[in-house]
Amino acid sequence: MSAPLRIAVVGAGPAGIYAADILKKSAAETGREVLIDLFEHLPAPYGLVRYGVAPDHPRIKGIIQALREVLESGVVRLFGNVRFGEDITLDDLERLYHGVIFATGATKDAPLDIPGVDLPGSYGAADFVSWYDGHPDVPREWPLEAKEIAVIGNGNVALDVARMLVKHPEDLMPTEVPANVVAGLEASPVTDVHVFGRRGPLHVKFTPLELRELGELRDVDMILHDDDFGVDPDEESLKQNKQILVISRVLDQWRQREVGQASRRLHLHFWSRPDAIVGDTRVEALRIERTRPTEHGLEGTGEYREIPVQAVYRAVGYFSSPLADVPFDERRGVIPNIAGRVQDGSRPMPGMYATGWIKRGPVGLIGHTKSDAKETVEHLLGDEHSWWTPAPYDVDAVPRLLEERGVAWTDIAGWIRLDEHEIGLGAPHGRARVKVVDRGEMIGVSRGER
């Protein structure tokens, strides 16, 4: 019988955990034993499921249960609070494993190159999301001082951000939203949130479920503008797509609604390209250029308008970060790869694989990371001839290395402790959980030191 296959996975988001699960099952089918070590920079697993998906989406957060079962299956060891590139390096992994799967996702905002983007009051959506989801590495305070706010983007993240900004905080209370976030939202004077899309209402990247949810917000009017509709010459062919048809119906229903009673308003603007963020010392307005459809896409009309706002949130996509000693495509923000096999230019990098958002860019839902992982794992298992040749197996090698380097790593038992602690904090208040936000406290609870 061949020696166990040893694989490191970097990143314990859905892509990394699904890869571990599929690897375990696929190897078992061929009778091969596999040992998987999962290295995660945060003291808690689940990546953007915990730190991206909005707190008022408990059904999606529920995916965590399935991911947790993989972690508890006994084949995977979790090393939390361990950063690849600092606490553990590519050289270390090459010495200890047959190969590595990078699943480090994306955490930053993609850049938006317009004048005024650096003015105080202009924020990246990713930073705001990290704040409201209690990410340990962002400041605890968020300046919610604006009455009128612009959100740039027409994808689900723009909707999440707009919804979190306009929703009355009492309606978030049953969820796991952190206490400091509730306090911040309660102090917000917001009355109007404007969402801007460059293209028309039938070109949005929203999913119908997320869009429909906006119309159900208590004490919030949906405001749409008639001149944004009926502009597209391709309207009928676009509506052949079922998802677009549903979106179009939802928007049409809102256009018929009586408005004027609610204390807050959510405006959807289409055919509006952000041209500049305007202000002397801080954001005072968003200037947009009206666009129109052309045969090949879209063009500016030269008609400009300034919408007074005191804050702008840019939800124009996420972007991944490079990893030490690993090739990176600066333009696309991914690890260059062919179907999961890492490439350096035209040169394949033996033993190195990628999956999830770092493999194909920051688009797609959690479910897509499963098919990603399947492809990557299939190639890894087929590449036995080019795997790395590690030192003989020593179960204590990684813990010893981390201890020598003074890394306070957390494991699966520690995560379960923290999970139970958070659920316990929420229980007396009838809440799903109260997230621990402070990194030191997360580590202390996980390691049984508090």
Ligand X SMILES: Cc1cc2nc3c(=O)[nH]c(=O)nc-3n(C[C@H](O)[C@H](O)[C@H](O)COP(=O)(O)OP(=O)(O)OC[C@H]3O[C@@H](n4cnc5c(N)ncnc54)[C@H](O)[C@@H]3O)c2cc1C
> Which residues contribute to the site for ligand X (CB under 6 A)?
10-16, 39-42, 47-49, 52-53, 57, 60, 83-85, 103-106, 129, 157, 160, 318, 323, 356-357, 364-366, 369
On whether the CB atoms of residues 62 and 50 are closer than 8 A, the answer is no
Q: In angstroms, give the least distance from the CB of 162 to ligand X.
A: 12
Q: In angstroms, give the least distance from the CB of 404 to ligand X.
A: 19
Q: Is 233 exposed, middle or buried (0-12, 13-18, 19+ CB in 10 A)?
A: exposed
Looking at the Cβ atoms of 54 and 309, the one nearer to ligand X is 54
Of the candidates 149, 224, 160, 132, the one whose C-alpha atom is nearest the C-alpha of residue 189 is: 149
d(CA 126, CA 52): 8
Looking at the Cβ atoms of 49 and 377, the one nearer to ligand X is 49
CA distances, 337 to each of 283, 324, 376 (Å): 40, 16, 10
CA distances, 381 to each of 13, 24, 60, 101, 357 (Å): 21, 11, 31, 12, 21
d(CA 284, CA 74): 55
Strand, coil or helix: what is 350? strand
Tokens linked to 307: 């919408």
Provide the total of helices (H) and of strands (E) in the chain, helices listed first. 16, 18
Q: In angstroms, give the least distance from the CB of 116 to ligand X.
A: 24
d(CA 372, CA 368): 6
Looking at the Cβ atoms of 109 and 275, the one nearer to ligand X is 109
d(CA 421, CA 430): 15
The region, left, alpha or beta by phi > 0 then psi within -120 to 50, assigned to residue 345 is: left
Looking at the Cβ atoms of 184 and 317, the one nearer to ligand X is 317
Tokens linked to 369: 């990371």
Q: In angstroms, give the least distance from the CB of 425 to ligand X.
A: 22
The H or E element containing residue 150 is strand 148-152
Q: Which residues pair with 151 in a beta bridge?
A: 195, 313
Looking at the Cβ atoms of 38 and 224, the one nearer to ligand X is 38
Q: In angstroms, give the least distance from the CB of 331 to ligand X.
A: 19
Q: In angstroms, give the least distance from the CB of 92 to ligand X.
A: 12
Task: Report residue 314 CA to chain centroid gap.
Answer: 14
Looking at the Cβ atoms of 279 and 351, the one nearer to ligand X is 351
Q: In angstroms, give the least distance from the CB of 69 to ligand X.
A: 17
Looking at the Cβ atoms of 85 and 208, the one nearer to ligand X is 85
Looking at the Cβ atoms of 10 and 76, the one nearer to ligand X is 10
Q: In angstroms, give the least distance from the CB of 107 to ligand X.
A: 6
Q: In angstroms, give the least distance from the CB of 409 to ligand X.
A: 11
Q: In angstroms, give the least distance from the CB of 284 to ligand X.
A: 27
Looking at the Cβ atoms of 110 and 244, the one nearer to ligand X is 110
d(CA 282, CA 288): 17
The H or E element containing residue 160 is helix 156-166
Looking at the Cβ atoms of 17 and 244, the one nearer to ligand X is 17
Q: In angstroms, give the least distance from the CB of 217 to ligand X.
A: 17
Question: Strands 341-344, 337-338: parallel, antiparallel or unpaired by DSSP?
Answer: antiparallel
d(CA 17, CA 370): 9
- Identity at 101, one-letter amino acid code: I
Looking at the Cβ atoms of 324 and 427, the one nearer to ligand X is 324
- Residues with Cβ < 8 Å from 303, sequence gap 6 or more? 289, 290
